[in-house]
Chain A
Amino acid sequence: MTTFPWLTTLMVVPLVGSIVVALLPKARTLLAKQIALVVSVATLVLTVLMALQFVGDSVEPFQFVESHPWIPAFGISYSVGVDGIGLVLVALAATLVPIVVLAGWNDVDDSRGSVKGYFALILVLETLMIGVFAATDVFLFYVFFEVMLVPVYFMIGRYGGAQRSYAAVKFLLYSLVGGLFMLASLIGLYVVSAQMTGTGTFDFLTLAGLNIDEGVQKMLFLGFFFAFAVKAPLWPFHTWLPDAAAESKAGTSVLLLGVLDKVGTFGMIRYCLPIFPAASNFYAPVVIGMALIGIFYGAFVALSQNDMKRLFAYSSMSHFGFITLGIFVFTSVGQSGSVVYMVAHGLSTAALFLTAGFLMSRYHGSSQISDYAGVNKTAPVLAGFFMIAALSSLALPGMVSFIGEFLVLLGAFERYMWVGALATLGIVITAAYVLRLYQRTMTGPLKPELEGMPDLRGREITALVPIAVLTIVLGLFPAPLLNVINPAVDRVMTSIGATDPAPTVTGAALEQPGLPAEGTEQ
């Protein structure tokens, strides 16, 4: 069983499913949806089976490794494998896709693009998402990174809202700009590796083992980091995100913000740090500054939004600030926290967008907060799930997002106390905009126009329950997550030559400011 090509299988299954769905006759929309659901659930089952065989404290950096030469002329190979970080993100992608399929069951009709096309695109995207987290060849990673844009572009542009075409093109161009600068760095890296080892390679472990000249590192780092900062997105490269999120279908937004944007933060921890350790150290203050600005900028703008989807987008931007902060404080606690936060954010974003999507589908698709009030009177179950999603987003203790946020702040305090203290303030604003959103839409007197709004139906509840369960279970019992993540993070820490600050110095300081701040927000 050890030689079974798990990761390739995970990529092939949705791809085949997508082709089958795409080849169906146009009229067979129900069958297309059913096939998409079955295929995505099957992929999830396979992912779980694979994850069960993952050895938490293995000495190997990557597991389920496969490697075949692809373009030997350029030292490119098809190499996949996952460490703990990759594994949890693959699992996140595999979990969210069936949920999105189920939740988006009636989202598209034949008016614009074909129904089967939407579901085929989701499945292609699943293949690419798994590939991007599983690639251990930097070139292969880049290919997935870029090709991923194409299905998302079509998902936004064909099935989105009124401004969909604008949003899709903006998304594509921003990402392409980032991607092409990464390409330039990637080629530079290849040439450097050819000069240092004699034969050029894109193998991640080989590249991470090279001791590249610091000046060169600083140049190459920029290309990679820029691409990831656009993808994540960090302030000031974020302006595509609100448009893309606002014009997409809820399901597209979930995959876009929940999984795709994680490629940015994943890229930082997987590629920027180990391959360019010296440059990462050099640029860390700038990146931390950008992360802090992002936390507050995103939160403040979210506070002033009247459009739910835009609010979620800005809120995500604020959360990406936290994730990036955790990565670049170079403490194992902070980095583990970042990875947990990536998963948590995926789940909470999914919950928010899907619940909001269900709400919107009940009132002309309006995403304006001011159009809703007192929804909990007529649709209590919907309001309940909205509450869970909101609390998960503001990182209530007991939710998995709390673990992530807490660890990130802890890590930040360990390294730079003031950064940690400042970032903690961001939580307060998060609480403010999330609770305000809930208060304005769900509580208060029911708007007359909303009279008789139906509550969630079975399919919708089925889609939301797994997210809620995962959010709470992992929040109360995060050990399985952390056991997998920690060894991978330790390896990253070793590769950048960073050590955690001695606990005696900051140990007393971090308990006090960290916890009350968490406490005050409820």
Chain B
Amino acid sequence: MSALATAVVSETETLFTAPGINYYAIAPILIIFGAAVVSVLVEAFVPRRARRPVQLVIVIGSVLAALAVVIDLRGTRLITGEGALAIDGPTLIMQGTLLIIALLAAFLMAERSIDPLGDAFAPRASALPGSEDEQEFTKRGYLQTEIWPFFLLALTGMLAFPAANDLLMMFVALEVMSLPLYLLAGMARRRRLLSQEAALKYFVLGAFSSAFFLYGVAMLYGFSGSVSLVAIADTLTAKPSEATLVAVGMAMLLVGLLFKVAAVPFHQWTPDVYQGAPTPITGFMAATVKIAAFGALLRVLYVGLGGMRWDWEPILWIIAALTMLVGSIIAITQTDIKRMLAYSSIAQAGFILIGVLAVSPAGLASALFYLIAYAFTTIGAFAVISMVRDASGEATHLSKWAGLSKKSPLVAAIFSLFMLALAGIPLTSGFVGKFGVFTAAIASGATWLVIIGVVASVIAAFFYVRVIVIMYFSDPTPDTASVVVPSAFTTIALAAAATVTIVLGIFPQPVIELVNQAGVFIR
């Protein structure tokens, strides 16, 4: 009887042990999440006129605070939340980059001087496109401030995604990140039907891929009895004979993650969504989702499924090659600059996969560097796109960029810089990034993949250069768009992106040291 009692007591004790959470280590996520909650309340209780400034203060303040904590956390290596979150070098680097990019994206979203009607977002997303309601809202100058809570929630998910050390946490982060983005994609002020179509497409396909991810998690749970990456890795070493279940689970998990990084053949959503979404959101999404998703992918592959390396390596090898080639080749045929950059982002994902496939600390470091370089260049490029306009809004058709250098030499020069960086011309950040992943891959023996990468780079150079040709070597036509002078918000974001692109190209050493010191994933 007493033995039974002790058993019950001890069981209750184990059941009710408070989970050990290092709150400071996860403070960046908590700060942004807290700010998101406050931001929702602001929407409910603050008068309409005051909402925008209040929201901006909350967003900028919380991002800066989170960034300060990330910087203060440098060198931290710990797993917290009962194994759910890993705060280590790669996590902190990705969180830091995500926060800085988010800040720049917030600046782009806050821009009000470019569009004479207001900002880049529909005054009421619920109003039917072209309806009288919509015209009324536009006339009254309504601004949609709900974008800010969505933005902060998405950022919360992004910060947690690369830190997630178990698959359930990862799934939650994935959804927290994705759902607000689906909504934001549908909120463009101009070309609303296109935007809504983009949102719907993104949502349906995204939900589909999430389901794959979740099914994969279930399979892996069935195999190892745990959702923890470390436990899965341990089970793999303990009973490698049951690898079929793992292989199926792994494949489904990868589908979900490769969808988010926009790797071929899971890339179909990218051009439509990039084109339809409001440009500041496209820039935000293109830069940050890539970072967060690659962070999660790297952690899953390196920590959880390291034992299955011989199974996933050949698959990813083919996917990387396809991603680079398909992205580059289809980009050539694009006539819309946002679609072109969408395919470019697909090709870039292939290059980052080369770093992932090196499966070495150098590979991890080079992928991190590449992500940082890519993120800044991309957000800068979309900042420029948001400024090039004609009467109907943004002039995204390439023919409208003809002779832009005559109208606005500085903007044309900056955009050329971003194009050259994406093409990987030396003295830009893109070159150092490419150099890093190629070096890591050759050192690991993936020479042929690098050669494919080189071929893809050449193909990709063609369409990046074509934009420069159009801007510089064509004469302006009556249709040529003009560059709207933006407020300080966009100017700051653009200047920061251009500066980082050049500095990382000429003096990359400090950042290379940073990613090298980040070391490997904790497990």
Contact = CB atoms under 8 A, between A and B. Distances in A.
B439 A173 contact: no
B465 A71 contact: no
A158 B473 contact: yes
B420 A150 contact: yes
B435 interface: yes
Interface centre among B447, B450, B458 (most CB of A within 10 A): B458
Given A169-B466, A173-B462, A190-B439, A154 B472 contact: yes
Interface centre among A70, A72, A112, A184 (most CB of B within 10 A): A184
Contacts of B443: 191, 194
Contact of B469 (A72, A143, A157): A157
Contact of A74 (B420, B425, B439): B439
Contact of A183 (B435, B436, B475): B435
Interface stretch (A53-61, A174-182, A259-267, A462-470): A174-182
Given A173-B465, A180-B457, A184-B454, A143 B472 contact: no
Contacts of B508: 71
Interface string A426-446: 000000000000000000000
A125 to B, nearest CB: 15
Interface centre among B420, B427, B473 (most CB of A within 10 A): B473
B445 to A, nearest CB: 9
A interface secondary structure, majority: helix
Interface stretch (B43-51, B115-123, B312-320, B509-517): B509-517
Contact of A177 (B458, B472, B474, B509): B458
Interface string A133-160: 0000000001100110110011001100
Contact of B512 (A71, A146, A176): A71
B435 A172 contact: no
Contact of B461 (A71, A73, A165, A173): A173
A164 interface: yes
Contacts, number: 78
B438 interface: yes
Contacts of B458: 173, 176-177, 180
B513 A73 contact: yes
Interface in A362-421: none
A187 interface: yes
Interface band, chain B: 20 to 34
Interface in B309-348: none
Contacts of B513: 73
Contacts of A194: 443
B473 A187 contact: no
A493 interface: no
Interface in B375-422: 420
A187 B354 CA distance: 14
A73 B516 contact: yes
A188 interface: yes
A180 B324 CA distance: 15
A169 B469 contact: yes
B479 to A, nearest CB: 18
A168 interface: yes
Nearest to A178: B458
A114 to B, nearest CB: 8
Given A73-B513, A172-B465, A177-B458, A183 B438 contact: yes
Interface band, chain A: 20 to 34
Contacts of A164: 473
B442 A191 contact: yes
Contacts of A112: 475
Contacts of A157: 469, 472-473
B9 interface: no
Contacts of A73: 509, 512-513, 516
A318 to B, nearest CB: 28
A142 B426 CA distance: 8
B433 to A, nearest CB: 12
Contacts of A184: 438, 442, 450-451, 454
A158 B406 CA distance: 11
Given A146-B425, A147-B427, A184-B454, A191 B473 contact: no
Contacts of B450: 184, 187
Contacts of B447: 188
Contacts of A176: 457-458, 461
A146 B472 CA distance: 20
B442 A188 contact: yes
Contacts of B435: 74, 183, 187
Contacts of A177: 458
A173 B461 CA distance: 8
A242 B443 CA distance: 40
A72 B454 contact: no
Contacts of A158: 472-473
A113 B413 CA distance: 13
A73 B443 CA distance: 15
B454 A183 contact: yes
A190 B461 CA distance: 24
Nearest to B515: A73
Contacts of B509: 70-73
A165 B474 contact: yes
A143 B465 contact: no
Interface in B440-460: 442-443, 447, 450-451, 454, 457-458
5 contacts: A150-B420, A153-B465, A165-B469, A183-B438, A187-B442
Given A149-B425, A157-B473, A188-B447, 17 more contacts: A71-B512, A73-B516, A74-B435, A112-B475, A158-B473, A165-B469, A168-B469, A169-B465, A173-B461, A176-B461, A183-B438, A184-B438, A187-B435, A188-B442, A190-B439, A191-B442, A191-B443
Query: Sorted from nearest, which 8 A-B pairs have the closest CB atoms?
Result: A143-B426, A165-B473, A73-B512, A157-B473, A180-B454, A146-B426, A191-B443, A191-B442
Interface of A: 70-74, 112-113, 142-143, 146-147, 149-150, 153-154, 157-158, 164-165, 168-169, 172-173, 176-177, 180-181, 183-184, 187-188, 190-191, 194
